[in-house]
Structure 1
Amino acid sequence: MTVTQAANLLGTSNDAVKHLLAEHPPPPRPITPGKAWATGHISAVARTQLPESELRRLYIDERLSIRDISQATGISVRVVTSLAREYDIVLRPTGRTTRAKPITKDWLHEQYTVHRRPLADLARETGMSPTSMARWARHHQIPTRRGGAGHNPALRALADGVTAPPLLRPALERRGGREHLRNFAAAASYPTLGAAADALNVKWCTLVGQINRLERDLGGPLLERAVRGRPMRLTALGRRAKRAINKALPDQAASHTPLQRTEGN
């Protein structure tokens, strides 16, 4: 699969797949011209994202560790270390590093999204720069406000998650969760995911990835997949989720006419 295909199937982003591949590379294989090019390409992208001036500011001025910088930027520890050596930055001895306090997703979401505190205010409270706080927001996939008090659609989705039914909150508190819930509610009325994907005008692998992600968010299987002689049908959890979607998100109710009603709806 390509990175995009894998990301769609897993219900995550291309950057997350690339990050995991960088952190957990496959077993070594004989080097090929293509692999040599890819390795150089990763380094080139990292240099663009983390130029010498920025790495020096984070590592020397703000005293962040290599691992902290890796977590904030999504670049692997190995690549950040390689860039530091390339830039002739003297690395601090292991065990004597002054580490910045990690910023957790729950804390940042509560302070920034729920209480609407500015990133600059949160940065001062934690002793880091606004730029570093913004990186933590990107690392935790928390959309930032634009133009002061304005919300973008993804940030509104996070705010919706605060008052949504508990069952749906894990999905609504992440980017794209509302769309995934909408597509699940619509797909549940079709005999197969293939038929649902055709009717909803989405790729089959995309729809499967969205439902797989929702099943992880909501804590269990939502659909019993179709088998020969039996159409796809909702599980008990799936029926609860669909009722919650229809009640809490009426604007997201599916308007598609199903090809065939399934059992258990």
Structure 2
Amino acid sequence: MFTEQRTPRDAAQQLGTTITHVRFALEHLGAEPQEWTSRHSPLVSWRLRERARAMLTPEFFDREYTQQEKTLTQIAQEIDLPRHIVVEQAEAVGLTIYRSRRPLPIDEAWLREQYLTHHRSTYAIAQQVGTEDETIRRRLQQLGIPLRPQGVHSQTVMVAKLATSIPRDIRAAVEGTLHGWLRLHRFHIAMAFPNLTTAGTYLGAMQTALTTQFQRLEGDIGHNLYHRSVQTTPQRPTARGKSLLRGIQQPDVQTLMHDALSPAQMLPLPDAGTIADATAAFRHRRKRGPLKPFDGIAVQRIRIRQETLTLLQDLLDHTDEEFYGAQVHTRTGLPQGTVSDQLRRLRQAGWLTSRPEDDDSWMRRATPGRGPGRRITYYSLTPEGRSAAAHELHTRGFPAPRNSTERWDETTDKTSRHPSEAAGHADCGRQK
């Protein structure tokens, strides 16, 4: 064991005995004098410890370990001493050694004020202190402070209360909301324009987004705030809306709004020239009167949009087939809701006929253990509907449908069929 420099445990395993027996044997055997290396001799160890006692004074540890927050490993590497000797000297001078990350010094009174009085979130406090959100939460729990729910509900803007000197409607729109100040600012600007479309152009927002935001504003306040624009009649604030606008213009409210919004959100009020241009464009809009009926096509005319043209093109490509909404959605890529709305409009106008799914097909689709669900509604183009669809596509420059038998007569501005094709369709109708 001494010759091979084995440990008692290795010797016990080699001999097939226990380490207790090996130690008992060592007590009765004369151990040979140990040969020390130049690095591990008692003299070298004594010199290292003397050097550590001379260098690692309490003042040194206070400067390097406490103030500069160096680890004992870093200190040992810098002064070229073994770490265990540095640790021994640190314990000898009474230094508090942190086995993990040392606690962050945070003033308890300041933390209470920031979290309870100013209602700041733990994330915002952690960003200012330079630590993690969970560290602040643990410190609050150690102080016995109840934590608010995490997420948006704990943000300062959600829990802050405005002074009672602020108008009531302003407080109702802002308190407990995330974007209340932005909605108030946009409402202030939008009411200077004749409608939400022109206001949205100035604000860089969609008209539908402004409609949703102002509906939320009206819900928070509990009153209608403006009369919507109709045709050439511009929008205008109600009596409650005018009161809200006066409240927004107060200096103290404007100060709070500037503090809450970023420079990119805080747009200036439009000048007189911008308002005049928007009003002039609004007043010169053409009123949409009733549609002129088709000449010789006995269906009601409908207003045609781009999605309507896409739908009509697909229906004429499959003119002799029954179809349902999901098939059209798959073939055209139009949204399912748009397809359903368009098919309903065309059926009401007489372009389509419809029938519900028959009982046999309906029951065959039933999932075992569940009901069959809703019946499928099948549609098909009427002869007059095919003529109307071909007319609308032709007048807008669409190419002739692949499977359509309609032919356009440039002289009469009507659709017609080739005699052979008409006869073929008559035969198909009889076969059906």
Structure 2 length normalisation: TM-score?
0.27
Structure of higher RCO (CA pairs closer than 8 Å, 6+ residues apart): 1
Instruction: Considering fraction of residues, name the structure with more helix.
Output: 1
